[in-house]
Structure 1
Amino acid sequence: MLQDNIEYSFATDIPESDYQIIVDCPFFKDWIAKARKDFAVTHIHVDSVDYFSRVHRPLFIKITATATLPDGRPVHGVVLLRGNAVGVLVVLRCEGKKYLLLVRQPRLAITEEASLEIPAGILDWSGDYRKVALSELEEEAQIKAEDSELIDLSEFWWKGMTEGFAGSCGLLDERIRLYAIERDVTPEQLKAMDGKNQTYVEENEWIRTVVLPYEEAAHKFIDGKNLIALFLYERWLESRK
């Protein structure tokens, strides 16, 4: 299959009826357009595709690309495409103390039964980072927020240079746009936010909210987006002094 002067091939277990669905996938097309600005891409082999459970639409696309730098030097071509994502650092203030609202969920990839993370999710096909950030807050953290509450940490730090933080540059195309929100809450509200369960059977998501003191939380998570969000938030706070 030849398209945009790139030759495509597909693993034998991928039905031919899916070929066009894959190459027309927005995050797949977006990655190719960006890659061709700095690399000469001649061939892409689609190794595997995972689809959303509710619709036949690509969720993850693993490829092996044949590509070189402009001067002809070859580059590593294994890429896992999933598109961009958002993450939101939720800072709660209660009686002069700060807390973080996080979520615990199983992460098989890092063999963690209860990984501690900020609310986050992949960018849907709308391409609207702020909309998805607000949706993930409501879905995962049970917090309804207004657009005006979102602090765009990525824009603050990178000034439009990038769409977000790249978590695994050697494999993933994903960039995570990071936001923060701040909320003043009562002790009763703080307690009510802790320990809420969300279950999304179709997506195999088992989520429980956790409220931890700000400094304590920072020493308990290992997820990269948490650490970067916290770093950016601290810099944002300093900029306002």
Structure 2
Amino acid sequence: MLVDGIEFTFAPEIAADDYQVVLDCNFFRDWLSAVKSKFRVQKIHFASVDFFRKEHRPLFIKLSATATLSDNRPVNGIVVLRGNAVGVLVVLRCEGEKYLLLVRQPRLAISETTSLEIPAGILDWSGDYRKVALSELEEEAQIVADDSELIDLTEFWWKGSTPGFAGSCGLLDERIRLYAIERDVTREQLDAMNGKNQTYVEENEWIRTEVLPYEEAAHKFVDGKNLIALFLYERWLEANAVTSR
């Protein structure tokens, strides 16, 4: 299949009826548009496509592209597409101390049954980062927040030059837009937020909230988005002349 000068091929495992579904996928089209503005792309081979369980639209796309820089130097073309995402650092203040509200969930890719993470999720078709951030807060952390509470850490740090943090730029297209919210809570409220279970069978998600002292949580982080969110939040505090201790 030749479209706009690019040859598209598909692995035998991908049904012919899904070819156009893949090509019309929003995050693939956004990625291709960005790539074509900076690289010369001759061919794209779709190796595999995973679809959402509830509806037939792509969730992950693995492809290999034949592409070069403008001076014809070839570049590595293996890419996994999933679109952009959001993450929210939840800072709780209680009795003069700071805490982080986090979630634990299984992550097979890193062999962790209880990976410690900030609430996060992929961007939906609305393309509204703030709306998705608020939705993920309610879904994963059981926190109902107002848009005015969101601190846009990505905008603060990068001033509009990027939609988000790239966690694995050698393979993934994903950029994560990071936010923070701050809440003053009582001891009773803090205790009630700890240990809540959320189960989403359709997505194979088994989530449990965990409240940890601010500094203790930081030393337990291995997830990149956690560390970047914490770094940006600390810089935001400094810029706003607020002490983080």
**Normalising TM by the smaller chain, what interval?**
over 0.9
Q: CA deviation at 1:3?
A: 1.4
Q: How far, CA to CA, are the matches of 2:34 and 2:13 in structure 1? A: 28
**Which residue of structure 2 lines up, in the alignment, with residue 17 of structure 1?**
17
Q: Is the 8 A contact 1:115 1:221 kept in 2?
A: no
Identical pairs, percent: 78
| Structure 2: gaps (5+ residues) | none
SS across alignment from 2:37? helix
Letter in 1 for 2:43: H
| Equivalent in the alignment of 1:68 | 68
> Match of 2:7?
7
Give, as a single letter, the amino acid of the residue that structure 1 aligns with 2:30.
D
SS state at 1:54 partner: coil
TM-superposed deviation, 1:4: 2.1
2:108 corresponds to which letter in structure 1? L
| 1:199 equivalent in structure 2 | 199
Aligned to 1:112: 112
Alignment of 1:43-82 (within 5 A): 43-82=43-82
Cα root mean square deviation, aligned:
0.4
2:183 pairs with 1:183:
yes
The total of aligned residue pairs comes to 241
DSSP-derived class of the 1:53 partner: coil
**In 2: Cα distance, 1:22 partner to 1:204 partner:** 23
1:118-159, Cα deviation, whole Å (9 max, x unpaired): 000000010000000000000000000000000000000000
Find the aligned partners of 2:7 and 2:240 in 1 and give their Cα distance.
51
- Report matched runs for 1:1-241 at 5 Å: 1-241=1-241
Q: Encode CA deviations 1:68-89: one digit per residue, 9 max, x unaligned.
A: 0000000000000000000000
The CA distance in 2 between the partners of 1:63 and 1:192, in whole Å, is: 45
Deviation at 1:27?
0.2
Q: Aligned partners of 2:164 and 2:22: how far apart in 1?
A: 24
Instruction: Give the whole-Å Cα distance in 1 for the aligned partners of 2:63 and 2:128.
Output: 26
1:38 match: secondary structure: coil
Deviates more, 1:183-192 or 1:3-12: 3-12
TM-score, normalised relative to structure 1: 1.00
Paired with 2:57 and 2:43, the residues of 1 have a C-alpha distance of: 23
Q: Give the distance between the partners of 2:181 and 2:4, measured in 1 at CA.
A: 42
Tell whether the 8 Å contact from 1:91 to 1:183 is kept in structure 2 after alignment.
yes
The structural deviation recorded for 1:173 is 0.1
Aligned counterparts of 2:78 and 2:4: Cα–Cα separation in 1: 20
Is the 8 Å Cα contact of residues 129 and 177 (structure 1) preserved in structure 2?
yes
Q: CA deviation at 1:221?
A: 1.5
Distance 2:224 2:207 in 1: 19
- How far the C-alpha of 1:5 sits from its partner, in A, is 1.6
Paired AA for residue 178 in structure 1: L
Q: Deviations over 1:9-51 (max 9, x none)?
A: 0000111000000000000000000001110011000000000
Q: Which amino acid aligns with 2:66?
A: T
Cα distance between partner residues in 2 of 1:47 and 1:236: 42
4+ runs deviating over 6 angstroms: none
Cα distance in 2, alignment partners of residues 41 and 199 from structure 1:
42
TM-score normalised by structure 2 residue count: 0.98
